[in-house]
A and B are shown apart, each in its own frame.
Chain A
Amino acid sequence: MPINATQKITIKLVVAAIGMFVFAVFLMPPLYDVFCEITGIGGKTKGQYEGTVAAVDAEREVKIQFVTTNNGAMPWEFSPVEYQVRVHPGEKTAVEFYARNPTSRDMVAQAIPNVTPDNAAEFFHKTECFCFNKQPLKAGEETKMGLVFIVDPELPASVTTITLSYTLFDVTEATEAEAATTN
């Protein structure tokens, strides 16, 4: 059956509408993530850093601060052992975070990092971080969790203080649900 002008344009517009929906749901989030990753905007740091960095810049000192926040009803004690360190770019530095589960049930936490200022995030490399994995703690248990990082010497000269924030989320339920479905 020949297709008339109205049907043609209707089909085109329906396709366009569906296309915009697909764009919004399937393309916008990844585009946003990629954009944020490339630019470091939003303070999201990348995953485990496996690259090598040029020599240590002993002339320069950068202040690194650590802050922690418990999300929602998360009851753990969670704090940095040192709230601030001074490092040279290129130098590997290790710091620790104290965590304790004061409740009477076993729990699992996920720490989510975020860095400010924005233009520092892509120059903050974590080689080891407790935030790469979920952290389980039994009832009443306490622990020290480690972070090893290097500040890239390419860090813009205007940045003298970087603040790394960890937000701790209670993922006990989600972890149990996942375990249940994979078993």
Chain B
Amino acid sequence: MVSRVKQLVVYALSPLLLLSFVGQMAHAEDAHKSGWSLLNMPRGVTSVSNDIYDLHMIVVWICVWISVVVYGVMFYSMFAHRKSKGAKAANFHESTTVELLWTIVPVLILIWVAFPSTKSLIELYDTSEADLDIKITGYQWKWQYEYLGEGVEFMSELTTSEPAIYNQEPKTEFYLSEVNEPLVLPVGKKVRFLITAKDVIHSWWVPDLGVKRDAVPGFINETWARIDEPGIYRGFCAELCGKGHAFMPIVVNALPEAEYDAWLAEKKLAAAAEREMAKKTFTLEQLMAKGEEAYNRSCASCHMANGEGIPGAFPALKGSAIALGPVDKHLDVVINGTSGTAMQAFGGQLSEVDLAAIITYERNAWGNDVGDMVQPLDVLKFKQGQ
């Protein structure tokens, strides 16, 4: 008896709960809240993301209203047609009319949904007349961005530290959503993204832009976005790509056009400045400090912050023959990678300064204490085949 009342209460309340949830969702449009108020997809800052949001809400409301009717009939029945209340079973068990009705009506509803869906998809696929082209390459486990025709390209890697991940240090506000170099884009311009991958399939997803496209090795995909508002928009890799899948976020910094132009100009100068830096001579302290930072960002995901790697998967650098051995061999492995393994060729990814610092760090950290240093010029000479 008590359980019947409980059932009735829960069943009667459920549609109300459902409606209130959906109601809240519709108001929780800006998902840049966190915690409990995170209920719905963000509207985002592009026409595509807004189209998608509107379509999403249309389908949600259709589902809500259908549930109210369908569950309503069911809950009514569970209340009114209980044997314990003396209900006697009727005997009907088929009706062609009713079957036709509830086949045709859903088809009509679906056709009705198909129209805006088709329109949105066509819009989403139209990459024509872009103002700029960005090549995005997914790596295990970071992104590379290249501004076609501008001579600007860089790696964008997670800066959250290993101690923070392993709960030895406090987590920053943008834990797992922060990178060393965000993708900077102009507001109001149509940006075409050319997406591919270097190793396994990744996927480039920024919810606020309404963009998600798989990065398939050996193939090139294209998609686009026109960002309507300046701001920082964060996204994630959305295709399982190995152990670093959760650790290769995307950060887009959308700047008003003038600021973007200024940034781009500065970036081009910075490329030149970096080449100048490569001619400098650094002290061991400077190389070690820079090296630790660069190593933790670019190498520690496999070789670990303590240099001990992962047995069976990624070799230890602490006490390794390469880190303790001839510099040339060490330079070769870091710059040219090791064929057939996960050790990429970092020569094309990092600056000479970073490479020199990392190699110096690897040779002297964790008790390796080789005592020598590698200068950026050494790296440059090695790359040039001297």
Asked if B301 lies at the interface with its beta carbon under 8 angstroms from chain A, I say no
What residues of chain A lie closer than 8 Å to B148, measured between beta carbons?
65, 67, 83-84
Q: Which of B130, B199, B219, B384 has the largest number of chain A CB atoms within 10 A? A: B219
Given A67-B148, A83-B149: A116 and B194 interface contact (C-beta under 8 Å): yes
Give the nearest-CB partner of A164 in chain B: B220
Give residues 24-70 of A contacting B (CB, 8 Å): 42-43, 65, 67, 69-70
Give residues 125-149 of B contacting A (CB, 8 Å): 127-130, 133, 135, 137, 146, 148-149
- Picked from A42, A161, A167, the residue with its CB within 8 Å of the CB of B196 is A167
Task: Judge whether B129 and A73 touch: CB under 8 Å.
Answer: no
Asked if A72 lies at the interface with its beta carbon under 8 angstroms from chain B, I say yes
Task: Judge whether A75 and B217 touch: CB under 8 Å.
Answer: no
What residues of chain B lie closer than 8 Å to A43, measured between beta carbons?
219-220
Given A70-B198, A70-B345, A160-B128: A116 and B149 interface contact (C-beta under 8 Å): no
What residues of chain B lie closer than 8 Å to A72, measured between beta carbons?
198-199, 337, 339, 344
Docked complex Cα distance between A11 and B138 (Å) = 49
Docked complex Cα distance between A161 and B340 (Å) = 35
What residues of chain A lie closer than 8 Å to B337, measured between beta carbons?
72-75
Give the nearest-CB partner of A140 in chain B: B385
Asked if B283 lies at the interface with its beta carbon under 8 angstroms from chain A, I say no
Docked complex Cα distance between A175 and B349 (Å) = 27
What residues of chain B lie closer than 8 Å to A158, measured between beta carbons?
128
Asked if B347 lies at the interface with its beta carbon under 8 angstroms from chain A, I say yes
Docked complex Cα distance between A46 and B146 (Å) = 27
Docked complex Cα distance between A21 and B23 (Å) = 50
Interface of B is mostly: loop
What string of 1s and 0s marks CB contacts (under 8 Å) between A122-162 and chain B? Answer: 00000000000000000010000000000000000011110
Asked if B335 lies at the interface with its beta carbon under 8 angstroms from chain A, I say yes
Asked if A93 lies at the interface with its beta carbon under 8 angstroms from chain B, I say no
Chain B: how many interface residues by the 8 Å CB criterion?
A: 39
What string of 1s and 0s marks CB contacts (under 8 Å) between B179-200 and chain A? Answer: 0000000000000101011110
How far, in Å, is B125 (CB) from chain A's closest CB? 9
Task: Judge whether B332 and A114 touch: CB under 8 Å.
Answer: no
Given A102-B385, A103-B332, A163-B222: A69 and B137 interface contact (C-beta under 8 Å): yes
Docked complex Cα distance between A169 and B217 (Å) = 10
How far, in Å, is B157 (CB) from chain A's closest CB? 18
Asked if B368 lies at the interface with its beta carbon under 8 angstroms from chain A, I say no
- Picked from B127, B135, B385, the residue with its CB within 8 Å of the CB of A67 is B135
Given A65-B148, A102-B335, A173-B340: A114 and B220 interface contact (C-beta under 8 Å): yes
What residues of chain A lie closer than 8 Å to B342, measured between beta carbons?
73
Asked if B383 lies at the interface with its beta carbon under 8 angstroms from chain A, I say yes
Give the nearest-CB partner of A42 in chain B: B219
Task: Judge whether A116 and B348 touch: CB under 8 Å.
Answer: no
Docked complex Cα distance between A161 and B128 (Å) = 8
Asked if B221 lies at the interface with its beta carbon under 8 angstroms from chain A, I say yes
Task: Judge whether B332 and A70 touch: CB under 8 Å.
Answer: no
Task: Judge whether B130 and A161 touch: CB under 8 Å.
Answer: yes
How far, in Å, is A67 (CB) from chain B's closest CB? 5
Asked if B67 lies at the interface with its beta carbon under 8 angstroms from chain A, I say no
Asked if A106 lies at the interface with its beta carbon under 8 angstroms from chain B, I say no
Task: Judge whether A71 and B198 touch: CB under 8 Å.
Answer: yes
Docked complex Cα distance between A115 and B221 (Å) = 9
Task: Judge whether A114 and B194 touch: CB under 8 Å.
Answer: no
- Picked from A77, A102, A161, A170, the residue with its CB within 8 Å of the CB of B339 is A170
Task: Judge whether A75 and B347 touch: CB under 8 Å.
Answer: yes
How far, in Å, is B286 (CB) from chain A's closest CB? 26
Q: Which of A65, A71, A75, A83 has the largest number of chain B CB atoms within 10 A? A: A75
How far, in Å, is A91 (CB) from chain B's closest CB? 21
Given A75-B348, A172-B339: A102 and B220 interface contact (C-beta under 8 Å): no
Task: Judge whether A77 and B348 touch: CB under 8 Å.
Answer: yes
Please name 21 pairs of A and B residues whose Cβ atoms are closer than 8 Å in the assembled complex, sorted by A.
A67-B146, A67-B220, A70-B348, A72-B198, A72-B199, A72-B344, A73-B338, A73-B341, A73-B345, A74-B345, A75-B336, A75-B347, A102-B335, A102-B336, A102-B347, A102-B385, A103-B332, A114-B219, A158-B128, A160-B129, A170-B339
The 8 closest A-B pairs by CB, nearest first: A75-B345, A73-B337, A75-B336, A165-B220, A140-B385, A116-B222, A103-B336, A167-B218
Chain A residues at the B interface, C-beta cutoff of 8 Å: 42-43, 65, 67, 69-75, 77, 83-84, 102-104, 112, 114-117, 140, 158-161, 163, 165, 167, 169-170, 172-173
